[in-house]
Amino acid sequence: MDNLDSDLLRTFLAVAQAGSVTDGAARIHRSQSATSIQIKRLEAILGRPVFERHGRGVVLSDAGRTLLPVAQDVTARLDAALRDVSQRVVSGKLRIGIPDDHGRTKLAQIIAAFTRHHPKVELDVTCALSSGFPEALENGALDLAIYEVEHPKQHEEVLFEDPTCWMASAHREFATDDSLPVALFDHACWWRDVAISSLEARGRPYRIVYSSQSVSGVIAAVEAGIAVGLLGRSSLLSDLSIVGKRFGFAPTPASKLVMAAGISPTRGPLDAMKTAVRAAFLTRA
């Protein structure tokens, strides 16, 4: 009788996290062909496919989604057992930056869980506006950071993609021919640039009536019916509605939440945190 072994599960996780067989193979230092063979072996044992093709990559099938938490739990337990028995404890210091708004609660939960599993790692967490995180990584002030971009660079690993759209309060009507009141971010960032470009391309009058440093501030203004605002679709609540087409806005680009690393002198804590973040966002998907 065939059995699931941890090597197959680790290959499955690598491909699931990377979103493609090629990138998954690179993560576990195997060839693409060897990785494909292992996935086929896993699917033969299960009798069902664990992935479906999606564009140039793959996404989890129903069977894959069922297997995912099991694979994560099994490999985590095996890794913990290895650390306990061999006393290979991850230790050192890790300086990590997380955004003040997007996913703050989720990221705080990830960090809390990481601390429980790796008590010997000293974490220095910066929770702030993330626009300065890339520079902090470059100058060595941070070891790992999570932030939002419009166009990810090669070294930035995409964790979550959130389409942007113009929203208004579901309880407030704005005249489409009047000067449109708008809520924007008040600091230099690509969100503000995209919003202003979208407003200018619309070719109709508008006025900035509210500015905020945070997503929660813009959401509060929109919910209160003060203005319309450009927000991520994940911010769409029952009291908000999408108004882009009604006001003549063209589609706006999606926001990508990415993870990037600096040059860390201690690879153990860095690699362990990256694994924890990937697993949490993969479960979310």
* Mean of per-residue pLDDT scores for the chain: 86
pLDDT classification of 91: cutoffs 50, 70, 90: confident
Q: Of 2-16, 43-57, 91-105, 231-245, which gets the smallest average pLDDT?
A: 91-105
For residue 161, the surrounding DSSP H or E stretch is strand 157-162
Question: Is 164:230 a contact under the CB 8 Å cutoff?
Answer: yes
Same domain, 180 and 261: no
Same domain, 170 and 202: yes
Question: Of the residues 27, 53, 86, which one is the last residue of a structural domain?
Answer: 86
Residue 283 has pLDDT above 60, yes or no: no
Question: Of the residues 53, 86, 119, which one is the last residue of a structural domain?
Answer: 86
Q: How far is residue 143's CA from residue 262's CA, in Å, rounded to a whole number?
A: 5
Same domain, 151 and 188: no
Mean pLDDT (whole number) for 184-201: 88
Q: How far is residue 237's CA from residue 223's CA, in Å, rounded to a whole number?
A: 9
Q: How many domains does the chain have?
A: 3
Asked if the structure places residue 1 within a domain, the reply is: no
pLDDT by residue (tens digit) across 29-66? Answer: 888 899 999 999 999 999 999 999 887 789 999 999 99
Same domain, 18 and 51: yes
CATH number for 203: 3.40.190.10
| Domain limits for position 104 | 92-160+256-284
Residue 166 has pLDDT above 90, yes or no: yes
Tell me, what's the pLDDT at 101?
Answer: 66
Question: Is 160:284 a contact under the CB 8 Å cutoff?
Answer: yes
Same domain, 226 and 266: no
CATH number for 12: 1.10.10.10
Same domain, 28 and 138: no
Same domain, 248 and 263: no
Asked if the structure places residue 210 within a domain, the reply is: yes
Same domain, 249 and 170: yes
Mean pLDDT (whole number) for 218-231: 94
Q: How far is residue 41's CA from residue 219's CA, in Å, rounded to a whole number?
A: 48
Same domain, 134 and 265: yes
- CA–chain centroid gap for 271, Å, is 17
Asked if the structure places residue 48 within a domain, the reply is: yes
Q: How far is residue 129's CA from residue 113's CA, in Å, rounded to a whole number?
A: 23
Same domain, 116 and 235: no
